[in-house]
Amino acid sequence: AGSCHGNSVERKIYIPLNKTAPCVRLLNATHQIGCQSSISGDTGVIHVVEKEEDLRWVLADGPNPPYMILLDGNLFNRKVLLQLKGTSRVSGLAVAIAKPSPPQGFSPGLKCPNDGFGVYSKDYGPEFAHCNTTVWNPLGSGISYEDFDFPIFLLEDANETQVIKQCYLDHNVPRDGSAPEYPLCAMQLFSHMHAVTSTVTCMRRSSLQSTFSINPEIVCDPLLDYNVWSTLQPINASGKVDPEKEVVMVATRIDSHSFFWNIAPGAESAVSSFVTHLAAAEALHKAPDVHVLPRNVMFTFFQGETFDYIGSSRMVYDMEQDKFPLRLDNIHSFVELNQVALRNSSILWMHTDPVSRMNKSVNTQVQILLDTLKQSSFGSAVTLQEAGFSQPLPPSSFQRFLRARHIPGVVLTDHRTAFQNRYYQSMYDTPENIGMQYPEGLSPEETLEYVTDTAKALAEVATVVARALYGLAGGASSISAIQADPKTVTRMLYGFLIKMNNSWFQSIIKPDLKGILGDVPQHYVAVSSPVNTTYLVQYVLANLTGTVVNLTKEECQNPEKLPHTEKELYEYSWIQGPLDANGTARVPLCVRSGVRLSKALSPAFELRHWGSTEYSTWTESRWKDIRARIFLVASRELEIITLVLGIAILVISLLATYFINAKADVLFSIPRDPGAVAY
CATH topology of domain 224-486+596-601: Aminopeptidase (3.40.630)
453-472 and 360-376 helices, crossing angle to 10°: 130
Q: β-strand 409-413 against 331-337: which pairing, if any? A: parallel
In 396-446, at which residue ranges do the beta strands (DSSP E only) sit? 409-413
> Which of these, 320, 224, 199, lies nearest to 601 by C-alpha position?
224
Q: Who contacts 299 (Cβ-Cβ below 8 Å, separation ≥6)? A: 229, 230, 231, 232, 250, 277, 281, 541, 545
pLDDT, residue 661, reads: 87
Q: Who contacts 428 (Cβ-Cβ below 8 Å, separation ≥6)? A: 98, 101, 102, 106
Assign domain 8-106+141-193+626-637 to its CATH architecture.
3-Layer(bba) Sandwich (3.50)
pLDDT, residue 528, reads: 82
Question: How big is the CA angle at 103 (ends 100 and 104), to the nearest 5 degrees?
Answer: 145
The letter for the amino acid at 74 is N
DSSP state of 660: H
> Which of these, 272, 239, 255, lies nearest to 596 by C-alpha position?
239
Contact status, residue 223 vs residue 307, Cβ threshold 8 Å: yes
pLDDT, residue 476, reads: 86
Category of 130 on φ-ψ map: left (φ > 0), alpha (ψ -120 to 50) or beta: left
Q: β-strand 547-549 against 589-593: which pairing, if any? A: antiparallel
The letter for the amino acid at 388 is G
Q: What's the average pLDDT block by block, 10 residues per block, for the chain (679 residues)?
A: 59 93 97 96 97 94 94 96 94 96 96 97 96 96 97 97 96 84 95 96 93 88 97 93 95 97 96 98 94 96 98 98 96 97 91 96 97 94 92 97 97 97 97 95 96 97 97 91 96 97 95 88 89 96 96 93 89 94 90 96 96 97 96 84 92 92 80 58
The letter for the amino acid at 76 is F
Q: Centre a 10 Å sphere on the Cβ of residue 11 and count the other Cβ atoms it contains.
A: 10
- How far apart are the C-alpha atoms of 380 and 366, rounded to whole Å? 22
Contact status, residue 68 vs residue 94, Cβ threshold 8 Å: yes
Half-sphere exposure of 119 (CA within 13 A, CB side): 23
Contact status, residue 279 vs residue 531, Cβ threshold 8 Å: no
Q: Centre a 10 Å sphere on the Cβ of residue 215 and count the other Cβ atoms it contains.
A: 5
The domain spans of the chain are: 8-106+141-193+626-637, 224-486+596-601
The letter for the amino acid at 244 is E
pLDDT, residue 2, reads: 45
Per DSSP, the three-state class of 661 is helix
> Which of these, 264, 281, 224, 416, lies nearest to 339 by C-alpha position?
416
Burial of 133 (0-12, 13-18, 19+ CB in 10 A): middle
Cα torsion 655, 660, 662, 663: sign: positive
Length of the chain: 679
Cα torsion 4, 6, 7, 13: sign: positive
pLDDT, residue 664, reads: 82
- How far apart are the C-alpha atoms of 402 and 119, rounded to whole Å? 6
- How far apart are the C-alpha atoms of 25 and 35, rounded to whole Å? 6
